[in-house]
């Protein structure tokens, strides 16, 4: 009975050493007599006890690694602290185990030296405005360097850039000054635009007033001209009627002169300031004056 128990225990130990279950997203690095033998993928794996050995369990998931905050001196001699995180994935488990002592330490040291090299060539203001550029350069350099270690660098992100306290105070003052400057510029621009708008409004109003006054004068002048034309037409019709009446009556010279004077009297009642008297009318006036003197002389002799 004791022998059976011992045999059962030995079988269990051998089975434990022989049968390996590899989980998903992991691989086992198997060595045989101290040499690399194979990479065991996910699933059931059988190894030879006392000959084969699981050297390492490697995860194939994407992994993250925080790089310790690093003090870096910029090209304008300002010491800043940069906090970085690296996203990587193992593509060749055998290289990741055998090509480097510690993959994480290698990535960390390489990232620190690369950050110093990249940021050391930039000025302080440039480091804040060029984060994407720094991230891309870091990723490319780390990816090329870690390819020999069976590693793929997917992303590198700068989490924070911390300048010294005095630099932060100066930057805050500069930002406040810039904000005040922009506010004053916007206020001045608003006042200028308002003045331009008011001036344009006054200009348009003046133009419209001038156009209205011009149109009013044109219409008034047209009305006056039309009125004068109508009066002239009426007078012309009256003169024509008088002329036709005289012509039909076959008058003598004295009657024609008297009718001319009556027509002249009607014309004088018009709105015109000047009246042009024909030469014939002046002779008629002279005859009328002589006739008036004769009548006066007769009245005196009779008295």
Query: Is residue 44 over pLDDT 80?
Result: yes
Q: Is residue 176 part of a domain?
A: no
Torsion of CA 15, 16, 19, 25, to 10 degrees: 170
% of the chain surpassing 90 pLDDT: 13
Query: Is residue 303 over pLDDT 60?
Result: no
Please indicate, yes or no, whether residues 130 and 201 belong to a single structural domain of this protein: no
- Looking at residue 48, what is its pLDDT? 84
Please indicate, yes or no, whether residues 212 and 122 belong to a single structural domain of this protein: no
- Looking at residue 153, what is its pLDDT? 92
Query: Is residue 163 over pLDDT 50?
Result: yes
- Looking at residue 4, what is its pLDDT? 77
Q: What range defines the domain where residue 14 resides?
A: 2-59
- Looking at residue 123, what is its pLDDT? 86
Last residue of a domain, one of 118, 138, 169: 169
Model pTM above 0.85: no
Question: What's the pLDDT band for 225 if we cut at 50, 70, 90?
Answer: confident
Query: Is residue 238 over pLDDT 80?
Result: no
Please indicate, yes or no, whether residues 72 and 13 belong to a single structural domain of this protein: no
Mean pLDDT of 248-253: 60
Please indicate, yes or no, whether residues 55 and 67 belong to a single structural domain of this protein: no
Q: Which of the residue ranges 87-101, 192-206, 267-281 would you say has the lowest mean pLDDT?
A: 267-281
């Amino acid at each position: 009975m004791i022998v059976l128990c011992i045999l059962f225990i030995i079988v269990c130990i051998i089975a434990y050493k022989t049968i390996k279950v590899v989980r998903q997203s992991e691989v086992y690095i198997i060595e045989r007599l101290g040499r690399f033998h194979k990479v065991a993928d996910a699933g059931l794996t059988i190894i030879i006890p006392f000959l084969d050995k699981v050297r390492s369990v490697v995860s194939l998931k994407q992994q993250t690694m925080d790089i310790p905050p690093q003090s870096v001196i910029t090209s304008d001699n300002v010491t800043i602290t940069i906090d970085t995180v690296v996203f990587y994935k193992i593509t060749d488990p055998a290289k990741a185990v055998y090509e480097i002592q510690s993959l994480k330490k290698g990535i960390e040291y390489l990232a620190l030296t690369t950050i110093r090299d990249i940021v050391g060539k930039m000025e302080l203001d440039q480091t804040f405005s060029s984060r994407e550029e720094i991230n891309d350069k870091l990723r490319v350099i780390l990816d090329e360097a870690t390819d020999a270690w069976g590693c793929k660098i997917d992303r590198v992100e700068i989490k924070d850039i911390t300048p010294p306290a005095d630099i932060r105070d100066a930057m805050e003052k500069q930002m406040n000054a810039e904000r005040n400057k922009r506010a004053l510029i916007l206020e001045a621009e608003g006042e200028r635009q308002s003045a331009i708008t008011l001036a344009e409004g006054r200009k348009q109003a003046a133009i419209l007033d001038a156009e209205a006054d011009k149109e009013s004068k044109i219409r008034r002048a047209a009305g006056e001209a039309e009125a004068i034309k109508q009066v002239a037409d009426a007078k012309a019709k009256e003169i024509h009627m008088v002329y036709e009446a005289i012509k039909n009556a076959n008058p003598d010279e004295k009657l024609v002169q008297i009718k001319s004077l009556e027509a002249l009297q009607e014309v004088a009642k018009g709105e015109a300031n000047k009246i042009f008297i024909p030469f014939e009318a002046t002779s008629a006036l002279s005859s009328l004056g002589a006739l008036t003197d004769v009548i006066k002389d007769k009245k005196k002799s009779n008295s």
